[in-house]
């Protein structure tokens, strides 16, 4: 993954490279063209000067022939030759040949001019050749300079990019950080940083609206659960009491008694579910004092003792490794609920004569019970998502465990190791 500016940097660098690469031949042709044009002008000037100089000498033809011979001897780059007929027109050319003035192998490029001159009214052809810079050398110089500028540009981009991504994107990073740490059930308001970038301001405003909406919906839903379970308590109490009275009737048949007892059982379950829903709502609303110092080990032993008869009844082999003086800060009844829910869960789902292992240390609390196959950890902690055919529980036990852990800033994890369902609470 690359960040946004890095991505654009790559594109820009490629584009810049292409432009610079194309500029090299363009510059070369331009420079070469200027070179040749200037040299042609220069050659013409020299030709005029030679013509004038010779004419101004006013010497005889014999002397002239001698002078030209001598001239040609000492100036091989500008030869003068006598011709009967003048050239139809001047010619300009470029040749490569050995430089007569340098020793060793040195092929140079020359620009030549072949033109007619008149000395003492006789026609001569003058050839002037001037050294021109080599093509290869020009190309290399231009390429080196271009590359240098290209490197300056890329380094500049890179440096600017780093500074920009820090500065320009800072509000965005801030928003991102806040969104990452936001939790719908934490009751905390999210406050975005003020920014003068239109895009970010718009983003923040939209996110804010979205979040507010979610918070309101979440709160309504929570309130509904809480209110509903609260309102249910009185009718439940009435029902329960009416069944109690029914059970006391003198003329009750055994069949009627059993029907009433089944109603009673169902009512106990509804009451339990209702109570747990209320408990969940209260934990979510942070309505518990969380500052008491509690001996986790003592509480755990107490809970184990309370459940002893159920353990005995199923002949479950319980082994435990409980460190003493494990103190935690929290709410006594919630910690008790957490321990009880996990213990009861283990006892209920352990078959006859199987085993449960309980481990407590300063870093965490682990409870593992024998089982056959792994359960889906995503569904396990969800409300009312039962994992087994046995549905006598309220279906809320593990949700409550999870909520209590959230409140305590602990984590609870499920794993299936060595044929054991293992729940680990990390303090």
Partner 1 sequence: MKILIIEDEKELVKSIVEYLSKEDYLCEVALTFTEAMYKIDMFDYDCILLDITLPGGSGLKILEELKKKNKQDGVIIISAKNSLDDKVKGLQIGADDYLTKPFHLSELNARIYSIIRRKQYSNTNIIKLNELEINLLSKNVFVNNEVVALTKKEFNLLIYFIGNKNRVLSKSTLAEHLSGDFADMFDNYDFVYAHVKNLKRKLSNAGYEQHIKTVYGTGYKWEE
Residue 27's φ and ψ, nearest 5 degrees, are: -60, -40
Of residues 23 and 264, the one with the C-beta less far from partner 1: 264
SS (H, E, C) the chain: CCCHHHHHHHHHHHHHHHHHHHHHHHHHHHHHHHHHHHHHHHHHHHHHHHHHHHHHCCCCHHHHHHHHHHHHHHCCCEEEEECCCCCCCCEEEEEEEECCCCCCCCEEEEEEEEEEEEECCEEEEEEEEEEECCHHHHHHHHHHHHHHHHHHHHHHHHHHHHHHHHHCCHHHHHHHHHHHHCCHHHCCCCCCCCCCCHHHHHHHHHHHHHHHHHHHHHHHHHHHHHHHHHHHHHHHHHHHHHHHHHHCCCCCCHHHHHHHHHHHHHHHHHHHHHHHHHHHHHHHCCCCCCCEEEEHHHHHHHHHHHCHHHHHHCCCEEEEEECCCCEEEECHHHHHHHHHHHHHHHHHCCCCCCEEEEEECCCEEEEEEECCCCCCHHHHCCCCCCCCCCCCCCCCHHHHHHHHHHHHCCEEEEEEECCEEEEEEEC
Q: Is 271 in the site for partner 1 (CB under 8 A)?
A: yes
Which residue in the set 251, 378, 390, 417 belongs to the binding site for partner 1 (CB under 8 A)?
390
Q: Least CB distance from residue 360 to partner 1, whole Å?
A: 20
Q: Is 287 in the site for partner 1 (CB under 8 A)?
A: yes
Q: Is 92 in the site for partner 1 (CB under 8 A)?
A: no
Q: Is 294 in the site for partner 1 (CB under 8 A)?
A: no
> What's the order of all strands across the beta sheet hosting 91-98?
78-82, 122-132, 107-119, 91-98
Listed ranges 35-43, 160-168, 185-193, 386-394: which one lies at the site for partner 1 (CB under 8 A): 386-394
Of residues 137 and 231, the one with the C-beta less far from partner 1: 231
Of residues 132 and 267, the one with the C-beta less far from partner 1: 267
Q: Least CB distance from residue 341 to partner 1, whole Å?
A: 9
Q: Taking CB under 8 A as the rule, which mask of x and - marks residues 221-260 in contact with partner 1?
A: ---------x--xx-xxxxxxx-xx-xx---x-x--xx-x
Q: Least CB distance from residue 322 to partner 1, whole Å?
A: 21
CA-angle at 138, arms to 15 and 111, nearest 5°: 135
Of residues 143 and 263, the one with the C-beta less far from partner 1: 263
Of residues 220 and 241, the one with the C-beta less far from partner 1: 241
Q: Least CB distance from residue 338 to partner 1, whole Å?
A: 13
Q: Is 399 in the site for partner 1 (CB under 8 A)?
A: no
Q: How do 355-360 and 317-322 pair as beta strands?
A: parallel
Q: Is 272 in the site for partner 1 (CB under 8 A)?
A: yes
Residue pair 344/307 in contact (Cβ under 8 Å)? The answer is yes
Count of positions on this chain that bind partner 1 (CB under 8 A): 48
Positions in 316-335 near partner 1 (CB under 8 A): 333
Listed ranges 38-46, 118-126, 169-177, 343-351: which one lies at the site for partner 1 (CB under 8 A): 343-351
Of residues 74 and 245, the one with the C-beta less far from partner 1: 245
Q: Is 313 in the site for partner 1 (CB under 8 A)?
A: yes
Of residues 272 and 383, the one with the C-beta less far from partner 1: 272
Listed ranges 68-76, 130-138, 278-286, 352-360: which one lies at the site for partner 1 (CB under 8 A): 278-286
Q: Is 310 in the site for partner 1 (CB under 8 A)?
A: yes
Q: Is 387 in the site for partner 1 (CB under 8 A)?
A: no
> How far apart are alpha carbons 142 and 148 in whole angstroms?
10
Listed ranges 117-125, 137-145, 166-174, 287-295: which one lies at the site for partner 1 (CB under 8 A): 287-295
Residue 400's φ and ψ, nearest 5 degrees, are: -65, -45
Of residues 126 and 401, the one with the C-beta less far from partner 1: 401
Q: Is 91 in the site for partner 1 (CB under 8 A)?
A: no
Positions that interact with partner 1 (CB under 8 A)? 230, 233-234, 236-242, 244-245, 247-248, 252, 254, 257-258, 260-261, 264-265, 267-269, 271-272, 275, 278-279, 282, 287-289, 307, 309-310, 313, 333, 340, 344, 347-348, 390, 392-394, 397
């Amino acid at each position: 993954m690359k960040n946004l500016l890095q991505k654009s940097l790559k594109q820009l660098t490629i584009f810049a490279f292409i432009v610079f690469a194309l500029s090299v031949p363009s510059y070369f042709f331009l420079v070469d063209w200027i070179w040749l044009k200037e040299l042609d002008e220069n050659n013409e000037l020299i030709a005029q000067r030679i013509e004038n100089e010779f004419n101004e000498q006013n010497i005889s033809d014999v002397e002239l022939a001698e002078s030209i011979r001598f001239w040609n001897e000492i100036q091989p780059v500008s030869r003068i030759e006598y011709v009967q007929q003048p050239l139809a027109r001047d010619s300009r050319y470029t040749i490569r040949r050995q430089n007569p003035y340098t020793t060793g192998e040195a092929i140079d490029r020359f620009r030549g001019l072949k033109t007619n001159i008149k000395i003492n009214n006789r026609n001569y052809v003058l050839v002037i050749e001037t050294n021109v810079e080599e093509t290869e050398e020009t190309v290399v110089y231009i390429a080196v300079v271009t590359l240098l500028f290209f490197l300056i540009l890329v380094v500049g981009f890179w440096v600017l990019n780093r500074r920009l991504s820090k500065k320009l994107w800072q509000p965005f990073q801030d928003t991102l950080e806040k969104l990452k740490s936001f939790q719908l059930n934490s009751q905390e308001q999210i406050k975005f940083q003020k920014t003068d970038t239109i895009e970010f301001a718009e983003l923040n405003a939209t996110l804010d609206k979205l979040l507010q909406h979610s918070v309101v919906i979440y709160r309504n839903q929570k309130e509904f659960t809480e209110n509903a379970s609260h309102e249910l308590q009185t009718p439940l109490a009435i029902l329960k009491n009416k069944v109690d009275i029914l059970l006391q009737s003198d003329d009750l048949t055994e069949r009627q008694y059993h029907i009433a007892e089944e109603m009673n059982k169902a009512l106990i379950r509804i009451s339990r579910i209702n109570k747990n829903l209320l408990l969940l709502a209260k934990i979510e609303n942070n309505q518990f004092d969380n500052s008491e110092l509690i001996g986790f080990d003592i509480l755990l032993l107490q809970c184990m003792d309370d459940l002893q008869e159920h353990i005995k009844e199923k002949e479950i082999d319980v082994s435990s490794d409980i460190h003493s003086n494990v103190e935690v800060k929290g709410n006594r009844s919630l910690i008790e609920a957490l321990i009880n829910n996990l213990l009861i869960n283990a006892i209920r789902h352990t078959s006859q004569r199987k085993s449960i292992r309980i481990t407590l240390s300063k870093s965490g609390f682990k409870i593992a019970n024998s089982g056959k196959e792994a359960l889906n950890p995503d569904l396990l902690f969800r409300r009312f998502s039962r994992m087994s055919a046995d549905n006598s529980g309220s279906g809320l036990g593990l949700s409550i465990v999870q909520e209590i852990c959230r409140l305590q800033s602990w984590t609870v994890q499920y794993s299936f190791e060595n044929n054991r369902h293992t729940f680990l609470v990390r303090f």
